[in-house]
Amino acid sequence: MKVLMVCLGNICRSPLGEGILKHKAEEAGLNWFVDSAGTNNYHIGEPPHKLSQKVAKLNGIDISKQMCRRFVKEDMQRFDKIYVMDNDVYCDIKSLSGSLWNKDKSDLLMNELYPGKNMDVPDPWYDAEPKYHQVFDMISKACDAIVEKYKKQNTEAA
């Protein structure tokens, strides 16, 4: 499985998504490739936001080596599943993907926890540390649901 996490800046939410899902997949013995990207180009080449790094580290996950990159339409082909953090980002990747857009591969991350509700993971960019903890918890619970779903599918297929 190749999974891509996408947000606006690839600086706050999707680096957490990448770090958390990588960590949980590894713990579950799943050999997954997990990456992240942003739909804008404001922070290309930068490491994750210091509060995302801090909250991840407090939870035993090191995301300091990640580097911001922009979503490109070829990501739609390269990845099996693309999770976006909010509804605006969903519209952005649809438009950036052009003819390569694949609706079946793309979903809001929170739909893994609350199917069909189309809930956003809030953008913490203008907020303080508590918001980053809230965002971490939301992403972490959604990643638990993803890993559980694929573990179950693997067991049923065996």
Judged by CB under 6 A, the stretch of 10-18, 22-30, 94-102, 145-153 that binds ligand 4NP is 10-18
Q: Which of 75, 92, 112, 123 binds ligand 4NP (CB under 6 A)?
A: 123
- Shortest CB 41 distance to ligand 4NP, Å: 10
Strand pairing partners for 70? 38
| CA 21/CA 6 separation, integer angstroms | 13
Token reading at 109: 């991350």
Candidate residues 13, 22, 23, 81; the one interacting with ligand 4NP per rule CB under 6 A: 13
Residue located via tokens 């490109």: 72
* Residue numbers 17-76 binding ligand 4NP by CB under 6 A: 38, 42
Q: Which residue, chain included where needed, has tokens 């995301």?
A: 63
Are the C-beta atoms of 106 and 79 separated by less than 8 Å?
no
Q: Which residues are catalytic?
A: 7, 13, 123
